[in-house]
Amino acid sequence: MPGYRESYLFRIETDDPANFWCGHGNLIVPADGVLPAPTLFPGAGELVNIPDLESLINGKAQRLDITLSGVSPDTLALATEEAPQILGAPVWIGRVIFDEHWQIVSVLWEWSGEGRSLSVGSQATERGRLRSLTLTVVTGDTQRRRAPNAFFTDADQRRDYPTDAIFSHVAGISVGTTRRWGPK
C-alpha cells in the first residue's frame, strides 16, 4: 500500500460550475470556503500533465496547461459546448487527501486563477481513439496587451493626448536642476 493517497480537484466557476477530479467515478466533496455545499465531482480520467503550482507574489504571471486523457465522448461534447464560458471564469485547483479506505480526509485548495481556453485533442491508438482535454488557466496578467511603462516625456504624453503639455519641461530637468511648479 502507498504511504499517501491523493488526487486533484478542479472547479471552474461558469454559469453552471464545472467540477471534476482526476480519478474514476463520482466523488462527493464536503462544503468549504470554495464550495458552498457538498458537491459532486465526476471523474474526468487520467491526469496527463499538471505543472508545478506557484503563488504569484511580486512575480510574473503563471500560465498552466492541464491535460486530461481518456475522457468520454459525452464529456468531450459537453466541454466543446461549454468552452466559450471558460474565458475569464474563476478556476480553483485543489488537492484531496484520502485515508486508507479512500475516504476524504481533507481538501486543500492550492491554486486559483482564471480560465483562458479549453481545447480538445484526439489521436488514434492501437485500442481505438484516445480523447484528451487541455484546460489553459492563468494567474496574473498574461494578456500582454498593455504597452510597457513609458518615461514621462512630452512626446509620449502628446501621442495619447495631443493638446496636453504637462510634460513639456521634462527634457530640461536633470540631476541638480529644479523647476518652479506652476505659471511663471
Residue 130 to residue 72: CA distance in whole angstroms:
9
DSSP state, residue 86: G
User: pLDDT tens digits for 158-173?
Assistant: 888 889 888 887 777 7
Q: Which three cell numbers stand for residue 2?
A: 502507498
What is the predicted pLDDT for the residue at 59? 52
| Least confident among 14-23, 48-57, 75-84, 120-129 | 48-57
More confident residue, 107 or 59: 107
SS3 at position 44: coil
- If you average pLDDT over residues 51-57, what whole number do you get? 54
**pLDDT level of residue 52 (50, 70, 90 thresholds):** low
What is the predicted pLDDT for the residue at 28? 92
DSSP state, residue 104: E
Alpha helices in 33-112 (DSSP H): 73-82
- If you average pLDDT over residues 121-147, what whole number do you get? 73
What is the predicted pLDDT for the residue at 182? 72
What is the predicted pLDDT for the residue at 30? 92
Nearest C-alpha neighbor of 22 from the set 94, 79, 103, 73: 94
On average, the pLDDT of the chain sits at 78
Q: CB–CB of 62/113 below 8 Å? A: yes
| Least confident among 8-17, 100-109, 136-145 | 136-145
Residue 46 to residue 119: CA distance in whole angstroms:
16
Check pLDDT > 90 for residue 137: no
Q: Give the strand order in the sheet containing 62-69.
A: 18-21, 6-12, 90-98, 104-125, 128-139, 62-69, 46-49
What is the predicted pLDDT for the residue at 141? 57
Bridge partners, residue 117, by sequence:
136
For the chain, the domains span: 6-139, 147-179
Check pLDDT > 80 for residue 100: yes
Check pLDDT > 90 for residue 107: yes
Check pLDDT > 80 for residue 67: no
